[in-house]
Chains A and B, each alone.
Chain A
Amino acid sequence: MSDPTLLVLASLAEGDKHGYAMMVDIEEFSGHKLGPGTLYGAITRLEERGWIRPIGTGGRRQPYRLSAEGRRHLESVLAELDQVVKTGLRRLKNA
């Protein structure tokens, strides 16, 4: 669960955020402190894939928004992870 692109998508699922707000939010909900290069590497890849987009003219503190396609991708990945988590927990309980 430390894939930076997934963490950024999960952060933006709550609402629009700029880089620093994402960094703080990700650290709060996942415990992972993304470095500046890692965060902007993830933002670059996500924007290239059309899963997030910049909104307005935020200048140096540019906010980003989750696109409809990005939301669908996040839902699909989280559903897969949910399945893995549920299966793992059930097997641990039965072991």
Chain B
Amino acid sequence: MKWLCGLAIRLYPRPWRERYGGELEALLEDSQASGISALFDLGKGALSMTLGEKKFVVLAFATAGVVCAASAWSAMPNVYRSMGTVAVPKSTTTPMINDAAGIVLSIPAVRDLMAAHGLDAADPAKIEYVRRRILISKRDAASTPSGDYFSFAVSFDAADPKTARAVAQDVMDRMLRNLPKEAATLDSPQIPGGPCSPSLPRILLTGLVGGVMVGSLVALARRRRVA
């Protein structure tokens, strides 16, 4: 850890190192400070010295990042996800589930599904879009009161909660028709209470981190140009 502390001192700006670097090394020798807290403290100090008076630049970019992220979030359409679970007997193999999914997710089947739910199935791009919104999870072990089963989940993402539930239920029914007779519904898809995306905290965090990174780069570039 000692060599890492030595490395952390190298992160300080050169003029600062030339003035205080030797003293800081002597302090580390005398205090025997080489733990993770000393390393973190040195890293924090190096960042502070590097950014210097340009901290406001980082702050401005971070604020701008958060504001842009909040604007983007308000412009994004809500997506609702409805999910159900199918229980299949232990004799059902993954290829059997994949075969059933292949049938349900084939272009003609998706076109038929869309027509059944009043979705525009004329545009091939829209068919592909809907196909990508249907998720069939991997086989997983499941225990039910009537014994041990395998299970997999079926979900559909849509712009309105009722469509999400209706299509998810339809996809589940179509999967069941292509699986062994013992396969049954474990959990029916429900009308989602709220959107699954966009996630405001995640988008704000992305904006903040992006703003801090861009701000730091700008501050460093300006500092170098001045030096």
* A36-B38, A38-B41, A60-B26 known; A23-B20 Cβ under 8 A: no
- Interface pair B42/A60, CB less than 8 Å apart: no
CA distance A38 to B38 in the complex (A): 10
Residues of A within 8 A of B46 (CB): 37
CB distance from A5 to the nearest CB of B (A): 13
Determine if A15 is an interface residue (Cβ-Cβ < 8 Å).
no
Which partner residue on chain B sits nearest A24 by CB separation?
Answer: B31
Tell me how many residue pairs across A and B have CB atoms closer than 8 Å: 64
19 chain-A/chain-B pairs, Cβ below 8 angstroms: A19-B24, A20-B26, A36-B33, A36-B38, A37-B41, A37-B42, A37-B46, A39-B27, A40-B23, A40-B27, A41-B45, A41-B49, A44-B20, A44-B49, A59-B22, A60-B26, A61-B23, A61-B26, A61-B30
- Interface pair A23/B49, CB less than 8 Å apart: no
- Interface pair B28/A36, CB less than 8 Å apart: yes
Chain A residues in contact with chain B, CB under 8 A? Answer: 18-20, 23, 35-41, 43-44, 59-62
Within 8 Å by CB of A40, from B5, B24, B30, lies: B24
Within 8 Å by CB of A23, from B8, B31, B48, lies: B31
CB distance from B207 to the nearest CB of A (A): 29
Instruction: Type the 1/0 row for B15-53, where 1 means its CB is closer than 8 Å to any CB of A.
Output: 010001011111110110100011011111110110000
CA distance A40 to B26 in the complex (A): 12
Total number of B residues with any Cβ neighbor in A under 8 Å:
25
- Interface pair A20/B22, CB less than 8 Å apart: no
